[in-house]
Chain A
Amino acid sequence: MKKIVYIFLAFCLFSFSSCDWVSEPTPGVTQLSDYFVSGQACIYNVNANYVPLAWEYNKTYYSEWFIGDVMSDDALKGGQNISDMAAAYELENFKSNADNEIAEDFYKAQYEGIARCNLSLHYIPTVECDSDMNEALKERLLGECYFLRAYYYFRLVRTFGGVPLTLGIENDDSQWNRVRESAETIYTQIISDLEAAESRLWNKSQTGGPDMGRATKGAAQAMLVKVNMYRHNYAEAKKWGDKFLEEQATEYSLVPDFASNFTIAGENNAESIFEIQYANEGTSDFSPGNGATRGTFTTVLTRSRSTNMGDEGWGFNKPTWNLYNEYEKKDSLRRNATIILLDADHLGDQDTYLGTSFLNRKTGLYNADGTGYTYKNAHNTRGVLNNKQIRLADLYLLYAEACEETGDVTNATFYLNEVRNRAGLDPYPGYTFEINGEEVTSPTLKEAIRHERRMELAMEGHRWFDLCRWGVAYEVMTAYMAQESPEAKAEMQPFKKGIHELLPIPNRECQLNSLLIQNNGY
């Protein structure tokens, strides 16, 4: 039509010859099997599976005792004032909503541990034995992974209820949305993993020296007792308890000095069944995001805020008067090893929080007369002290409970009295104690075991979970709150039965996974 119409194909935008990646259907992925080629690689990989257990600081500090102690009648949050660590304040006073950062960090950390175990359990079986890893060691490494996966799921299920279950490698974003399984399904998986661990792990005496701190056969058996108690499967708990007492008799014993459990010398002692390992390591630092994990924050978090003690702490997790008053008159040994009240010269201006000036002695490494510390934190924030997860006294009392529930009064009484005897107390029956200011004049065996558990294990992160397991959280917490100081009471919301026994599923998770259904009441 017109004479000058230029049509030109400017350039071909496609150039397959020089850009091979365009024609690849999926981007290149390096294979993880390239890493899993030696026994040494497997050992390193399993070492790393313990690490999320030790994590305490991401968006906020989220040590498990913020749940186990602070939510319970054993402790108040503490800290500088009520606004110091808002997330812990909410837990303490039953004001949590689904944005609680402790719940969010804690939830995420456990799943990072689970994902690490899942990866190991997928790849390690494919690795051939070599000079670093014989068949028995390979089995033990797998046992450690099963143990740790169970441990992470246990921490989740008793805090949040049923959660999504993942046992494989979740590397496909089209599979991300996942429903919550029932708590029972999660517990069944935990039991199955613990049994797989129990058959593969070695005894504590074979897991010493450079392996001290790894999961052992005794730890797996003790966990089988504990987890079955959470399922109220008392016969099964007793069965595993019997097995533990028979097979592990020479491996563990109660140490004569109760207080020595909470010293550096008492780490991994004869009473210790499983503990999270920390160390004074020069490169430990103060950075969020779970990065550095060699030292614990618990020591600095719980030490006195006083400037007169030589090493300032932040004063969290303060024992309550309610706990203090439940110790029997004769039980000063355990009470003084658990609770410390600094004298007027050493107590700081900020050591009193909502009516309590007590400090948690079990994690503070205080010297004998409470005028300072036996250990100075590295970098002022990172402590050395291991976190005891299960010790023999805990196992004895769980076993006593299982026996009591199944009608074996003899064994229940015997193991209750083992614990009392070490504390220098009269055997059951024949003593009284006070709960909430009311004298329990002739405690039943069940009452006596529950009382003993509180006194023996106070401030070690067990109490809240025990109250929920016994189904008495509402009754105990309501009675306790009524007795609190006016200042503390003013902050507390009433405990709602059937709601507050669980923490909310983090809101962030509900947003990222549309199939999650929030816990009742949040």
Chain B
Amino acid sequence: MALAWRINQESFLEDASSYLDNLKLRFGWGQVGNDQVSESAFVQSIETPGPYFVGYILGDQLVPGAAVLTLVNENGRWETNEQWNIGLDFGFWNGKLTGTLEGYIRDTKDAILSINAPAHVGNHWAMSANLGTVRNMGIELTIGHQNKVGDFEYGINGNLSFAKNKVTKMNGGSPDYGDRTKTDEGLPVRSFWGYKYLGVYMTDEEATSHLPNSTNVVSEGDAKFEDLNGDGKIDENDCMVIGNPFPWLTGSLTFNLGWKGIDFSINFQGVYGNQIYNALRERLEGTGQTATLSSAMKDVHIWYNQDKRDAMEAAGIDWRALMNQYAGSIPNPHGNSLNAANSSRFVESGAYLRLKDLTLGYTLPKKYSQKAYIDRIRVYFTASNLLTITGYTGYDPEVGGGVDYGNYPQSRTFMFGINCDF
């Protein structure tokens, strides 16, 4: 249901008609089913003959098998979206300035998410379930300015969006834990979950006084995590929300210019306020084989090597100071087994500003092109992902989104082209 009021046509604004083209207040409410749910979400499949997951060796031969790997949830329902929105459309000076200001609250009820079942259910993969109600709310502002001065045309279009994501109800009452994430009432969907990292213990005494009740040995060089409940040991009860994958601010800005046959446009986009869990870094700066070979750990391995320490001490070098300088932020890869645990050590700001596209074009005057029986010829150059300003240390803050396993980054492309209209 939608309701709109064209305010500019009211008598009290008659005087403003010289500069006011359009002023419309809109109000809307709607409830719709979501048909974007994957078709397979509730289709039971059985894994049939093939070597993976179901084939077994009997009589020294691989024999076919068939099994359900993941049970479809028969308690599933379709999700529904309920949305309230209020918007103001405006236009001034014959289209020179146009824009929209819009506020919305969208509740997705029985939101379908892929979640892990307890082991006794026997599912191999995560399955779809109606997790609860997710609320997305925000304000969006879109403003555009177009103008022409002689042969010179230009335009600026901007968009700013303030948004918030929050789970308002969990259907089962209990939270869902995914890979390094937790989803629960009052939290954004898939908030990062883990220990709060405080640095590296510089001495054994510091470690034992911080965790007097630890069941496994903590010592110098091990990771120091916040003991949230103060029981003198680190366990699952010390995990906390350590990041939010949703930016509260998203924006984009486009300029375009035209002069005679030349056209130029440039587009920026950016987000602010979200975090990314850098799971790739967790592997590279963790323990085990990957970390052993990782260049990020080159110095770390040296500073945690007793022989090297002894040699430095003999040579009068203060290795503690060096450790602090080079490796103080990375715990000992051969130390306590929690050293590479999921923690705020790997949570980074996902904010970025990116020069997404830049295009420069030139359209040949018709008197030349028509000689070649071509209606219009335009040559252009486009560059994508030319520049990114970000503090994120992973490959690409844009593809990271949430938990980043080292996804392949977006490429920077340069393109030259010719358009011909016949």
Q: Using a CB–CB distance below 8 Å, which chain A residues touch chain B?
A: 2-11, 13-14, 19, 21-22, 24-32, 35, 41, 44-45, 47-51, 54, 81-87, 89-90, 95, 97-99, 107-108, 111-112, 114-116, 118-119, 163-164, 166, 169-174, 176-178, 208-214, 277-279, 281, 283, 290-294, 493, 506-514, 516
Contacts and interface: CB of A to CB of B under 8 A. Distances in A.
B216 A95 contact: yes
A286 B53 CA distance: 14
A506 B30 CA distance: 44
B42 A44 contact: no
Contacts of B150: none
Nearest first, the 10 closest Cβ-Cβ pairs linking A and B are A115-B122, A48-B65, A48-B67, A27-B42, A210-B59, A10-B2, A277-B57, A47-B65, A513-B118, A95-B216
B409 interface: no
Contacts of B48: 44
A4 B10 contact: yes
A141 to B, nearest CB: 13
Contacts of A13: 1, 30-32
Nearest to B234: A97
Contacts of B62: 279, 281, 294
Interface stretch (B70-78, B360-368, B377-385, B389-397): B70-78
B371 interface: no
A85 B117 CA distance: 26
B372 interface: no
A283 B51 CA distance: 8
A86 B337 contact: yes
Contacts of A5: 5
A89 B236 contact: no
A470 B124 CA distance: 35
Interface in B153-195: 172, 174-177
Given A30-B43, A44-B65, A509-B119, A84 B288 contact: yes
Interface string B28-64: 1011110101000111111111011111111111111
B53 A51 contact: yes
B387 interface: no
Nearest to B73: A173
27 contacts: A5-B5, A6-B5, A9-B2, A14-B31, A26-B42, A27-B37, A28-B43, A29-B42, A30-B45, A47-B54, A48-B53, A83-B288, A84-B288, A85-B288, A95-B217, A98-B236, A99-B341, A112-B122, A112-B123, A171-B74, A173-B75, A177-B172, A212-B58, A291-B52, A294-B62, A493-B215, A512-B119
B287 interface: yes
Interface residues of B, number: 79
B374 interface: no
Given A35-B46, A44-B48, A507-B236, A514 B11 contact: no
A95 B215 contact: yes
A520 to B, nearest CB: 13
B141 interface: no
B3 A510 contact: no
A174 B76 CA distance: 10
A508 B236 CA distance: 9
Among B56, B78, B129, the one with the most A-chain Cβ atoms within 10 Å of its Cβ is B56
A47 B78 contact: no
Contacts of A214: 58
A116 B68 contact: yes
Contacts of A514: 174
B122 A166 contact: yes
B287 A83 contact: yes
B1 A9 contact: yes
B313 interface: no
Contacts of B42: 26-29
Contacts of B420: none
A209 B59 CA distance: 6
Contacts of A279: 57, 60-62
Interface in B100-136: 116-124, 129
B59 A212 contact: yes
A44 B216 contact: no
Contacts of B208: none
A500 to B, nearest CB: 11
A219 B1 CA distance: 69
A512 B68 contact: no
Contact of B216 (A90, A118, A211): A90
Nearest to B33: A22
Contacts of B54: 44, 47-48, 51
A420 to B, nearest CB: 33
A281 B31 contact: no
Contact of B56 (A35, A50, A97): A50
Contact of A90 (B28, B65, B116, B337): B337
A277 B55 contact: no
B326 to A, nearest CB: 20
B333 interface: yes
Contact of A32 (B46, B337, B338): B46
B66 A45 contact: yes
Given A2-B11, A99-B338, A509-B119, 10 more contacts: A13-B31, A29-B42, A29-B43, A35-B46, A44-B64, A44-B66, A95-B215, A166-B121, A507-B236, A516-B118
Contacts of B124: 112, 290
Contact of B66 (A24, A41, A107): A41
A108 to B, nearest CB: 4
Given A24-B78, A35-B66, A89 B337 contact: yes
Contacts of A493: 215-217
Contacts of B289: 84
B320 interface: no
Among B32, B59, B74, B177, the one with the most A-chain Cβ atoms within 10 Å of its Cβ is B59
A97 B235 contact: yes
A8 B4 contact: yes
Contacts of B61: 210, 279
Contacts of B71: 115, 169-171
A98 B122 contact: no
A284 to B, nearest CB: 8
Contacts of B28: 10
B6 interface: yes
Among A2, A27, A35, A209, the one with the most B-chain Cβ atoms within 10 Å of its Cβ is A27
B334 interface: yes
Interface in B277-293: 287-289
Contacts of A21: 33, 35, 78
B119 A111 contact: yes
A241 B55 CA distance: 33
Contact of A210 (B31, B46, B51, B58): B58
A176 B67 contact: no
B120 A170 contact: yes
B216 to A, nearest CB: 4
Contacts of B76: 26-27, 29
Nearest to B45: A30
A267 to B, nearest CB: 8
Contact of B74 (A172, A507, A508): A172
B55 A293 contact: yes
B77 to A, nearest CB: 6
Among B44, B58, B333, the one with the most A-chain Cβ atoms within 10 Å of its Cβ is B58
B288 A86 contact: yes
B67 A178 contact: no
A170 B57 contact: no
B9 interface: yes
B177 to A, nearest CB: 4
Contacts of B53: 48, 51, 290-291, 293
A97 B215 contact: yes
A157 to B, nearest CB: 13
Contacts of A510: 236
Contacts of A283: 51
A513 to B, nearest CB: 4
A51 B63 CA distance: 11
Nearest to B131: A173
Contact of A27 (B41, B45, B333, B341): B41
